[in-house]
Structure 1
Amino acid sequence: MKKKRICVLATGGTIASRPTPNGLMPALTGEDLLAAVPEFQEICDVDCVQLCQLDSTNIQPEHWITMARAVAERRTEYDAFLITHGTDTMAYSAAALSAMLENIDCPVVFTGSQLPAGVSGTDAEQNLLTAFHAALGGRAGVYIAFGGKIIFGDDARKLCTMQLTAFGNINRPLAGRFAGGHLTWLTEASNVTGAFHLHDQLDPHVAVLKIVPGLQPKMLELFVDAGCRAIILEGYGLGGIPDQESPANFLPAFSYAKEHGCRLVCTTQCTYDGVDMDHYEIGVRAQQLGVEPGGRRTTEALLAKLMIELAEQDDAN
């Protein structure tokens, strides 16, 4: 049987880090990480491309473009892709590639670790094993493989700073689990419904504003004045943002954003279930002034969606 071809795209992160006088810093290459799972060299052909060597705190939208283009340019040469990445922004990158690689017809699997590869108690080797098994599993789409879970890329969030489980699935079931050396898919395979399309233009002028008691509506106007073309509002509960019954009435600020062509999309600070802005009068009023409900999408997924839509809107004009 012909071996499957896997392309590892390495970007740095904790999994690739080593101690320095000032703390951990990415230093290991993708080839170094592959040495931790030599068994896969026997059952598949693995190539490695070092895209960057960064603490993922430093990952920006331009790095998402680099990752997405790297997959798109090689997708006919490989059966699957594995992206090693730092945990802090992995959910953002996975959500971005989920949107940018429309109708991707092969697995693209992110993984990393909470402890560097090679140190005592590290989760690096187990996460790499999980990611390789998910990649070889053949399910098309973008995923995060971490802590024994296979999570859809546009539904993941980092929930723990220290625990090895780290990531959770938010509003969709887990795609799969890896335990005892075996991968079990928990959902049906997604059907690819059209031709592959790469969305590799992003407009980074998108901000996130968390609504908290005492926050003044002027802050929203300042975001608009600073050049934001879209703002994700993290409201309360089902999408509540203070209206005229509050000393901090955001309704005039919504009108200000609309007049200046800035899109407002509301999500929730709650981890699960998303927003329903038709449930309370306060949400209906916000919608009447142009605030869009974000539904069950995570902030991470909304961010990528808006960056793509704004860029493509410019191209269309």
Structure 2
Amino acid sequence: MAKVYVLYTGGTIGCEPDSQGALAPIPGPAFERLVLSMPGLSGHTVADHPELGWTMGWLDRTLDSAAMTPADWLLIAQRILDVYGDYDGFVVLHGTDTMAYTASALSFLLPGLSKPVILGGSQVPLSFTLSDALPNLVGALVLAGTLELPEVCVYFDTLLLRGNRARKVDANRFAGFGSPNFPPLATVGSFVAANRALWLPMPEEDFSLAVPANLAARKRALATKATALAEFSVAMLWLHPGLRASTVKAVLAGTTPPVKGLVLLAFGEGNGPTDPEFLAALSDANRKGVIVMDNTQAQGGSVLPGAYATGLGAVGAVGAYDLTPEASFAKLVCLIASGLGPDAVKALMAEALAGELTVGGA
């Protein structure tokens, strides 16, 4: 029997109204009982996939994903590594607000995957009658238990997306996630239509998490990153007409812990204001070792460094190509937490480590 480990972290899928009528995630044991009461999921199996069984775990403190921090990414990654050898696939139930950040981070925190890690959730709680939660949950379970897919993914409303390419694109519709610059890895309907040509290759044996020594090394690396997270922060800044240098300085100066990375959401193909003081503030940050990423605030398309005179490469910003802002932020956090210096981080930010970007554009 294929075995799937389900990690419940909170989010809308596990919410119920509190005494004031506001939605809040219920504790893990109560959520597991709710899942077991759903059609086809009793007995920790999937009724029409008798070869598939599932086990549920949960975080000690269930969270709305708006409250997630990079420390929680490491905790989720650690929980997966702790049971990696015992299961064939993994489902992480997560709130939708920051799911793209967590999915992106896990793709960088879990190199060497040979099994699927699928993040899922819903726009409406599982306890509600009119809800997308049950099909999203069952779809994630089946995909995690039946696909030999070595990736971190997001499954939502029939689409299986590469996790570090996914974005939340709608706050209300069931089709809440998309992947503007990369096609779905699979689509679920009356059958699973898998686009295997897009999947990442299986890792070489000397890199795979299936090797106990590699698994132990990844656990030690996560512990090191957890310590490093207390020593720095990464910021994001949405560029807009009239943005002043004082705003940039306020974001970067005097913060505790210090900002070591800055993701700019720039105009179009990576353009920004031409105010000399604004550019000087960014250039000064670059000289002080802050890694500045030049992303686009457009939903789709790619940053093209040097395409316009208003591009930000002249101040030392790294062109993000078609990295999503969420993936850019998560990748920066993970690389800086690895202890790499600014030059090494800049070089790796412009390389595809887990299928997260297309150099030269989508």
* TM-score of the alignment, normalized to the shorter chain, above 0.5: yes
Deviation of 1:314 (Å) = 5.6
Structure 2 counterpart of 1:266: 294
Give the whole-Å Cα distance in 1 for the aligned partners of 2:177 and 2:185.
13
Bigger proportion of residues as strand? 1
Provide the residue aligned with 1:214 in structure 2.
242
Structure 2 letter corresponding to 1:257: A
Question: Is 1:312 the equivalent of 2:328?
Answer: no
Deviation at 1:82, TM superposition (A): 0.7
- Amino acid in the other structure paired with 2:326: E
- Evaluate the alpha carbon distance shift between residue 301 and residue 308 of structure 1 in structure 2; reply closer, same or farther with a 3 A threshold: same
Letter in 2 for 1:113: S
Q: Could you list the runs of 5+ residues in structure 1 that have no partner in the other structure?
A: none
Helix, strand or coil at the partner of 2:178: strand
1:133 equivalent in alignment to 2:142: yes
Corresponding residue for residue 57 of structure 1: 66
Which of residues 85, 98, 118 in structure 2 aligns to 1:89? 98
Correspondence for 1:148: 158
- Poorly superposed stretches of 4+, deviation over 6 Å: none
**Bigger fraction of residues in helix:** 2
Distance in 2 between the 1:78 and 1:112 partners? 21
1:125-149 per-residue CA deviation (whole Å, 9 max, x = no partner) reads: 1101210121122212111111111
Number of aligned pairs?
Answer: 309
Q: 2:3 aligns with which of 5, 27, 43?
A: 5
1:39-97 residue CA offsets vs partner (Å, 9 max, x unmatched): 51643221111124111111111111111011112111110001111111111111110
User: How far does residue 299 in structure 1 lie from its aligned partner after superposition?
Assistant: 0.8
Conserved? CA contact 1:86–1:112, under 8 Å? yes
Deviations 1:258-297 (A, max 9, x none): 23221111100101112002211221xx323211111111
Residue aligning to 2:54? 46
Written as runs of structure 1 = structure 2, the 5 A alignment for 1:131-210 is 131-136=140-145, 137-180=147-190, 182-188=191-197, 189-194=199-204, 195=207, 196=209, 198=218, 200=222, 201=225, 203=229, 205-210=233-238
Secondary structure of the structure 1 residue equivalent to 2:16:
strand
| 1:18 equivalenced with 2:16 (yes/no) | yes
SS of residue paired to 1:102: coil
Contact 2:237 2:262 in 1 (8 A): yes
User: Is 2:306 aligned against 1:281?
Assistant: no
What percentage of aligned pairs have identical amino acids? 28
Q: Is the 8 A contact 1:105 1:192 kept in 2?
A: yes
Using the size of structure 2 for normalisation, the TM-score is 0.81
Q: Which moved more, 1:42-51 or 1:289-298?
A: 42-51
2:119 corresponds to 1:110: yes
Report whether the alignment pairs 1:234 with 2:265.
yes
2:352 aligns to what? none
User: Matched residue of 2:155: which SS?
Assistant: strand
The question of whether the paired residues in 1 share the 8 Å contact of 2:242 and 2:273 is answered with: no
Residue identity opposite 1:260 in structure 2 = K
- The answer to whether the Cα contact below 8 Å between 2:243 and 2:273 also exists between their aligned partners in 1 is no
Amino acid at match of 1:78: Y
Q: Which amino acid aligns with 2:35?
A: L
Alignment partner of 1:294 is 2:296: no
TM-aligned CA deviation for residue 34 of structure 1: 4.4
Q: 3-state DSSP class of the match of 2:85?
A: coil
Amino acid at match of 1:265: M
Please tell me whether the aligned partners of residues 114 and 150 of structure 2 are also in contact (alpha carbons under 8 angstroms): yes
Residues 35 and 43 from structure 1, CA distance in 2 versus in 1: closer, same or farther, beyond 3 angstroms? farther
- Structure 1 length as normaliser, TM-score? 0.92
Please report the RMSD computed on the Cα atoms of aligned residues, expressed in angstroms: 2.0
Q: Could you tell me whether the CA contact under 8 Å between 1:31 and 1:48 is conserved in 2?
A: no
